[in-house]
Amino acid sequence: MPRSARPNSSPPAFRALLCLLLLLPAMLFPVRSAARAKLVPSGTRTGLPDSVLAVIGSGRPGEPGREIGRARFARAWSQLAPPARPDSLTPAGARRFLGLLLDKEALGLMVVRERWTWTARESAAFETLRDRLVVEVMLDSALTATRLALGPAGDSLDRQALGLVARERAMERLRPVYDDSLLARLALGFAALKRPTPDSSLFAQLRMLGASPQVDPADTGRVVAHSSTGDFRAGDLLASWRRLNPLYRPRVTSAAEVRELVMNGLFERLLRREGAERGLERWPDIAERLAGQRELNDVSRLVEREVYARIAMDSLTLSRFYRDTEPDWMLPTRMRLVRVVLRSRAEANAMALRLAGAAEAESLAAGARRAGAEWTVDVSAAEDSALFARALRAGIGGVLGPDETAGGWAVARVMTVQPGRGRPFAEVRDLVGHRWYGEEGERLMLALAGRARAACGATVINEAAIEALVSHPPESLRPAAVPLTRP
């Protein structure tokens, strides 16, 4: 199924999978573990240290096993929130979450047996990560060297001020010579970028913040600064601008400010070059992060092929699913209310008098709608059984309240009774597709993880280590203390 045709929002199962995808260094996992590993009873010798909760994949020739230790479990647990993980750290919850981590490792072991072609976006994300990791390490090194060179004066500088000094020192080495006329022309393009206003929608703001300046195509290849390490062109400046996080891009309106951007670009180029000379991406920490991103991309391709591409979304499939679940698509009996929440009981009492008249209630609801508020609500027994029962007893025209709520004093008038009815497939097709996509996607995901676990060979779980983790959890896994308050 093409990405563009997928439902816009994810059902609960897939929300959990996507949370894990975003926060952990490999891929999607089902809400339940795909297969039960062989549990080793308490007191049985596993050969595993107490810090290791499980090992998977050690039984396949030529493939080393992967360990899941206490620290890694705690880091993954603390990064996620329910329902992506269990609500509390119980023995059963810890085993279930460990099963998800084992599924992740099984998928990682599965993808190494094939060659994968990444999408352009995945390739770009990998290159961006590699560049960011190298530049960050080199920048930290440059800041440290600058602080040491400044002596006591450097101790009083914050990171931003220290960075400016480090950049100036780099410019002394690079000796850039600028094309002032090109800087002025580029400044016009930057100054013309629209800035979001507070009343802009979120998407409009992100679109404006993410925009690049319009530059004459003839200028993109021109050299904006000559330096001892090579020329810096307008195209290089635009590439540097696109790499910046849109939320932190500066407002640029003058040639002097464009020159600042060029100096930043030259400084970063120098850091990249020195990082490459040191072979920085082979350093263990960076190499581990890059390996994790490679695996993430590979497993993304695997899941695309084995899960997403196999979810049929044609009308015949969805109508069959609709028939199998038709009672679930019925609309229950609902009470339509005009309901208002006010700050004080006195205001609620006054509103109750106004709601007693049908025409006044309709007028109030319409006025609120024009002002951007919605006072008309439909309530079913499943959504709020107490309110539904009160409205049913009051009947059409009955006024409920004032009732004290967390948000103030609520008062409502019963407008109509909406009888329950079945809904034809055409009316609920999008809802049917949404649910089918979630259920079928979870089924296929479980099947994929199950195949991956079966292909891994032996999985050993250190039950004694799990019990120790639950009984004496690290600080990051302990529930936050609730402060005591005076009555």
Cis peptide before 83 (omega within 30 of 0): yes
Give the confidence band of 158 by pLDDT, cuts at 50, 70, 90.
very high
Kindly report the number of other CB atoms within 10 A of residue 481's CB atom: 6
Question: What would the pLDDT profile of 93-111 be if each residue is shown by its tens digit?
Answer: 999 999 989 988 999 999 9
Q: What is the mean pLDDT of residues 128-144?
A: 94
Q: What is the mean pLDDT of residues 328-348?
A: 95
Same domain, 389 and 253: no
Please enumerate in sequence order all residues whose Cβ is within 8 A of that of 487, keeping only pairs 6 or more positions apart, or say none.
none
CA distances from 86 to 44, 78, 296, 449, 455 (A): 27, 11, 24, 19, 27
Residue from 252, 256, 216, 258 nearest 237 by CA: 258
Give the confidence band of 120 by pLDDT, cuts at 50, 70, 90.
very high
pLDDT of residue 61: 58
Q: What is the mean pLDDT of residues 217-221?
A: 94
pLDDT above 70 covers what percent of the chain?
87
- Asked, for residue 104, whether it belongs to a domain, the answer is no
Question: What would the pLDDT profile of 417-458 be if each residue is shown by its tens digit?
Answer: 999 999 999 999 999 999 999 899 889 988 998 999 988 878
* Rounded CA separation 114/452 (Å): 13
Same domain, 398 and 337: yes
pLDDT of residue 79: 83
pLDDT of residue 132: 92
pLDDT of residue 48: 82
User: What is the DSSP pairing of strand 177-178 with strand 66-69?
Assistant: unpaired
CA distances from 160 to 261, 268, 271, 435 (A): 15, 15, 17, 49
Same domain, 270 and 341: no
Instruction: Identify the CATH number of the domain in which residue 363 sits.
Output: 3.10.50.40
CA distances from 269 to 8, 178, 310, 413, 457 (A): 39, 16, 44, 68, 47
Q: Domain span at residue 338?
A: 332-418
Task: Indicate the pTM of the whole model.
Answer: 0.73
Q: What is the mean pLDDT of residues 122-150?
A: 93
Same domain, 261 and 349: no
Cis peptide before 402 (omega within 30 of 0): yes
* Rounded CA separation 309/5 (Å): 11
Same domain, 345 and 277: no
Same domain, 162 and 266: yes
Residues 28 and 21: beta-carbon distance below 8 Å: yes
Question: What's the start-to-end Cα distance of the chain, in Å?
Answer: 58
Q: Which of 367, 401, 418 is the last residue of a domain?
A: 418
Q: Which of 393, 418, 443 is the last residue of a domain?
A: 418
Same domain, 191 and 267: yes
Same domain, 163 and 263: yes
Give the confidence band of 83 by pLDDT, cuts at 50, 70, 90.
confident
Give the confidence band of 63 by pLDDT, cuts at 50, 70, 90.
low
Q: Which of 418, 449, 477 is the last residue of a domain?
A: 418
Please enumerate in sequence order all residues whose Cβ is within 8 A of that of 307, keeping only pairs 6 or more positions apart, or say none.
28, 441, 444, 445, 448
Kindly report the number of other CB atoms within 10 A of residue 112's CB atom: 12
Q: Is 162 a residue whose pLDDT tops 90?
A: yes
* Rounded CA separation 103/163 (Å): 43
Supply angle C-alpha 338, 343, 346, rounded to 5.
85
Q: Look up tokens 């260094």; give the residue.
A: 25
Same domain, 249 and 372: no
* Rounded CA separation 82/97 (Å): 11
* Rounded CA separation 239/222 (Å): 14
> Between the CA atoms of 391, 393, 397 and 400, what dihedral angle is there, to the nearest 10 degrees?
-50
* Rounded CA separation 366/375 (Å): 9
29 or 478, which is more confident?
478
Give the confidence band of 7 by pLDDT, cuts at 50, 70, 90.
very low
Averaged pLDDT of the chain: 86
Cα torsion 323, 324, 329, 333: sign: positive
pLDDT of residue 482: 46
Which of 31-45, 118-132, 313-327 is predicted most confidently?
313-327
Number of structural domains, the chain?
2
62 or 262, which is more confident?
262
Q: What is the mean pLDDT of residues 111-126?
A: 92
Backbone angles phi, psi at 334, to 5 degrees: -130, 150
Q: Look up tokens 């580029």; give the residue.
A: 186
User: What is the DSSP pairing of strand 38-40 with strand 459-462?
Assistant: parallel
Q: Is 10 a residue whose pLDDT tops 90?
A: no
CA distances from 307 to 30, 313, 321, 452 (A): 11, 13, 18, 13
pLDDT of residue 478: 78
Question: What would the pLDDT profile of 25-46 be if each residue is shown by its tens digit?
Answer: 333 333 344 444 444 444 444 5
Question: What would the pLDDT profile of 352-395 be if each residue is shown by its tens digit?
Answer: 999 999 999 999 999 999 998 999 999 999 999 999 999 999 99
pLDDT of residue 38: 45
Same domain, 272 and 144: yes
pLDDT of residue 484: 47
- Asked, for residue 266, whether it belongs to a domain, the answer is yes
Question: What would the pLDDT profile of 239-288 be if each residue is shown by its tens digit?
Answer: 999 888 888 889 999 999 999 999 999 999 999 999 999 999 999 999 99
Q: Look up tokens 């407002």; give the residue.
A: 251
Same domain, 270 and 125: yes
pLDDT above 90 covers what percent of the chain?
66
Residues 237 and 261: beta-carbon distance below 8 Å: yes
Same domain, 268 and 142: yes
Residues 303 and 359: beta-carbon distance below 8 Å: no
**DSSP codes of every residue in 239-307:** HHHHHS-GGGPPP--SHHHHHHHHHHHHHHHHHHHHHHHTTGGGSHHHHHHHHHHHHHHHHHHHHHHHT
